Structure formats: structure tokens, C-alpha cells
Amino acid sequence: MALRFKNSYSRQVEEFKPIDEGKVRMYTCGPTVYLFAHIGNFRTFIFEDLLRRYLKYKGYQVTQVMNITDIDDKIIRDSQKESKALKEFTEPYTKAFFEDINVLGIERVEHYPHATAYIKQMVEIVKKLVDNGLAYEVDGNYYFKISAFKDYGKLAHLDMEGLKPGARVASDEYDKESVSDFALWKAWDEKDGNIFWETDIGKGRPGWHLECSAMSMEILGEHFDIHTGGVDNMFPHHENEIAQSEGATGQKFVNYWLHSEYLIVEGKKMSKSLGNYYTLRDVLDKGYSGKAVRYALMATHYRQQLNFTFQGLDAAGNALERYNDFIANLKDFAGGESDGNASEIIEKAKSEFENALDDDLNISAALAAVFDLIRDINRLKAEDKLSAEERDSALETIARFDTVLNFRTESGGSLDEQVEALIEERNQARASKDFATSDKIRDQLLEMGIILEDTPQGVRWKKKV
């Protein structure tokens, strides 16, 4: 069966067909770096990791962008409160985010653009929208005129007839009841202190929604395959991204929209504003491993709400142990006399695993196939009916599954992987001309005893002796 996704835009399950054969261009809304990300955020980032890894498993070449929102209303508010410069305030949270995704075994994506490095592109979009009659200026602020964009509300399935749009809204976040012309660009105001950019459209700073339109189109092109985020991003953020991007380019922005449901605590969305959240660090401090958190956050279908409990984390830890013990014990098994059943068991597991994930990433069915394989191979092993060749084939199969699941506990977190990840991050920073970050990473590596060398073939590293 072909790979299918439930597209939030059409609300239909659709077969996935990439724009360019064999390639996927995908954008995922990244963290707002004004606090440590909480495990609700990581539920969404882990769903996106599962999606990315399964696309790669299917043989697609994936180019994924995850932005770092390093300028928005909340960042300005909190950096002012702490009397810190923007960068000084956001940098520790950005660094913590990359540390956390390492602990969770989330694979690095190809691009991590910082919003503050794309102001020029944002201004260009505003200018185009004004030219196209879709944006207007009031006292140095630029607003998107939603009544002039006929498709407004299609992603969130708003009944625009029934709604009475408000005049204008300046804040980045608002609910469906207050649907209004939204701010693309906010003129400098005293409370912004020294946070502003001098641009062709005046002194000010971008609205949050504009940031993602600019970064996605600059890196992935004006029309790309997949856009993801948590359900709370659907309105107004993604609705506004579509309006800005399509309004500026006149062409379709994204083919497939995928949204993951909330991680909830006692019936409520885990959120920074409600204060009912755990950071990854909180959970690790209680003795849970990153991989147990990964398992717990991944094992429920992304479109179902997931209730966070510590019992759930314990259960995830037990399942992980079973998975890893299976691999370790099987490696030690010398091999017996085949009874001819193993290949069928393995083939069945493979096809069930793939059929499940093809079906809009049905992870619980995929995990059932994995644990059936573990049970059945363990049985053959206990009865000495598994040959050495069949053992290797079972190990290869689980290793292939693990390229998607990444539940192996001995992999990940090694020095080499950490160093490679940091080098990649530094390359990204250099590509977006963020030399301060790139220098910082070089220093961080030096502290770890790693020296970087720029060679014609790229960056090499060696240990300080």
C-alpha cells in the first residue's frame, strides 16, 4: 500500500505524492526560545521525527527545515523583564533545545534557521503583499487584510460567513472568535527597547506568522510538500502562513498539512501559560531516561491526545527494556537448527510494520508488529529452532525498524554523535551568517576537547591531545 496521510487542509486521508519524485521538502514549526521546551512540545517534535525517519525509511531524500523562533512578543516581554539583549536571552534556551533533542534521539534536520537572520526576506513579503492589495499600513504597522484573500480560513475550516471579523489584532496569538486582520510587521514601540530593525518598511520587527513564511519559502521554495506542527498552530499561525505565502506568490504554498494532538495533563493541554508542564530536565531528574520519554511520547498515534502520567513512563521504560534485551540476547545466541518458520515471521513483521506506518503513521500497530516479532523469535530461540542465519536476519530487521524508532539504548549520545551534531549546527549557523553562534559552538567543542579544522572537503575534527 502507498503511504497515506490525513491532510488537515482537506480533512481527508490522501496518498502522499511528492512534488519531485523521490524527494520530500518539509517544514516544521520549531521552538520559541524564551523558556526550556516542555515535553508537550517534544511530543510534537517526536511525531515530526517519526515522520521524517519513516520518509527516509521509504527511500525519500528529505530536506527538512525547523525554525528557531528567536523573536516574538513573549521573547521581547521576557528579555526586557530580565534586562537582557535579545541574543543573550535566547541563546541558552536554543542551546538547551539542541541538548534535549540529542537526549531524545531526535535526528538533526537539514536546516535550523533563526528568525532574526531572515528579516530581509520578511520585509520583501510585506512589500509584495502591499503591492498585491493584501496588506496595508497603519502608523508604521502592517496588517494582512483577510477579506481580500479568498481562501482565508480554509485550513482551520472557519465559517467566514458566520464570523464577524474584528478590525485588527496586533498580538501574535488569538483564538478563532477574534479572527481579524493580523500584524505582519509591528512598528517600534517604547516597550520594545532596543529590539528593532531599520528596514525599507520602517523601524520595527516582524509578526510571528511572517517569520515562518519567510524561512520556509527561502529555504524550501515557494511550493513544497509537507508542513507540520501541533494542532494549536493550525489557527491562527498556519492559516496566516498560507495567507501570507500564497498572497505574496500567487501559488499554492503546501500540499500536505499534518498536525499532532496535544500532550495533556489532567484533561488540560500541557502548556507554558497554564504552568502544568514538565521540561525534559524535570523528567530526567526523576530518573527516567531520554529514550523512555521518547517511547512514551511516540507510542500513541499523533492525532490522538496523549495523557501524560508517570505510570505511562514506567510502562514505556519496560517496553524499551524488552526491546533492548531482545537485541542483546539475540546477539549472544550462537544459533540452532532452523525449523523453517523464522523467515515467514520476519516477513510478516516487516509487512505489518510498513502497512501500519503507511497508514498515516499508525505507530501502535507498527509497535505491535515489532513486539510480535520479538515474542515469536524469542520462542524459536528458546526452542533452539533458530539458525545463525535467521538470527542475523532478525537482527537486521530490527536494526532497520530502529532507523525509524531509535529505541536502541546503546546508540545515541556517544561522543562522536554529539560532536557531529554540534558541527552540523555550526555549519547551519555559518550558512545563515550567524557567526556569533558558530564561534560559540567552536568554543563549546574546544571545551569538550575537540579541535575543528576547515579543509577543502569540509570541517574535520580531532581530539585535543
- What is the contact surface with Zn ion in residues (CB under 5 A)? 29, 212
Cell matching residue 427:
555549519
**64 lies in the binding site for ligand AMP (CB under 6 A):** no
Closest contact distance (angstroms) between CB of 458 and ligand AMP is: 31
* Residue 347 exposure: Cα atoms within 13 Å on the Cβ side: 5
Report the number of secondary-structure helices (H) and strands (E) in the chain: 14, 17
Query: What is the sign of the dihedral through the CA atoms of 185, 217, 135 and 172?
Result: negative
**269 lies in the binding site for ligand AMP (CB under 6 A):** yes
| Residue in 106, 109, 212, 270 binding ligand AMP, rule: CB under 6 A | 270
Q: Which is nearer to ligand AMP, 245 or 378 (CB)?
A: 245
| Distances 51 to 27, 58, 164, 258, 297 between C-alpha atoms, Å | 12, 11, 37, 10, 14
| Residue in 16, 235, 262, 323 binding ligand AMP, rule: CB under 6 A | 262
Q: Which is nearer to ligand AMP, 271 or 387 (CB)?
A: 271
Instruction: For the segment 217-256, give every residue that binds ligand AMP (CB under 6 A).
Output: 229-230, 232-233
CA 107 – CA 101 distance, rounded (Å)? 8
Strands 224-230 and 23-28: parallel
CA 274 – CA 278 distance, rounded (Å)? 12
Residue nearest to ligand AMP as judged by C-beta position: 230
Q: Which is nearer to ligand AMP, 28 or 393 (CB)?
A: 28
Q: Which is nearer to ligand AMP, 232 or 424 (CB)?
A: 232
* Residue 135 exposure: Cα atoms within 13 Å on the Cβ side: 29
The residue written with cell numbers 502522499 in the block is 16
CA 95 – CA 266 distance, rounded (Å)? 30
The answer for 287, left when phi > 0, alpha when psi is -120 to 50, beta otherwise, is: left
Q: Which is nearer to Zn ion, 180 or 244 (CB)?
A: 244
Specify whether the CB–CB gap between 126 and 201 falls below 8 A: yes
**407 lies in the binding site for ligand AMP (CB under 6 A):** no
| Residue in 40, 105, 207, 412 binding ligand AMP, rule: CB under 6 A | 40
| Residue in 9, 25, 31, 238 binding ligand AMP, rule: CB under 6 A | 31
- Which of ligand AMP, Zn ion, none does residue 240 bind (CB under 5 to 8 Å by kind)? none
**8 lies in the binding site for ligand AMP (CB under 6 A):** no
**44 lies in the binding site for ligand AMP (CB under 6 A):** yes
Largest pairwise CA distance in the chain = 82
Closest contact distance (angstroms) between CB of 215 and Zn ion is: 8
Closest contact distance (angstroms) between CB of 211 and Zn ion is: 7
| Distances 332 to 311, 326, 388, 455 between C-alpha atoms, Å | 32, 10, 11, 42
Strands 141-144 and 135-138: antiparallel
**90 lies in the binding site for ligand AMP (CB under 6 A):** no
The residue written with cell numbers 530526567 in the block is 284
- In what helix (H) or strand (E) does residue 419 lie, and over which residues does it extend? helix 415-431
Q: Which is nearer to Zn ion, 66 or 380 (CB)?
A: 66
Closest contact distance (angstroms) between CB of 384 and Zn ion is: 55
Q: Which is nearer to Zn ion, 103 or 248 (CB)?
A: 248
Q: Which is nearer to Zn ion, 212 or 313 (CB)?
A: 212
- Which of Zn ion, ligand AMP, none does residue 31 bind (CB under 5 to 8 Å by kind)? ligand AMP
Q: Which residues are near ligand AMP by CB under 6 A?
A: 29, 31-32, 40-41, 43-44, 229-230, 232-233, 262-263, 269-271
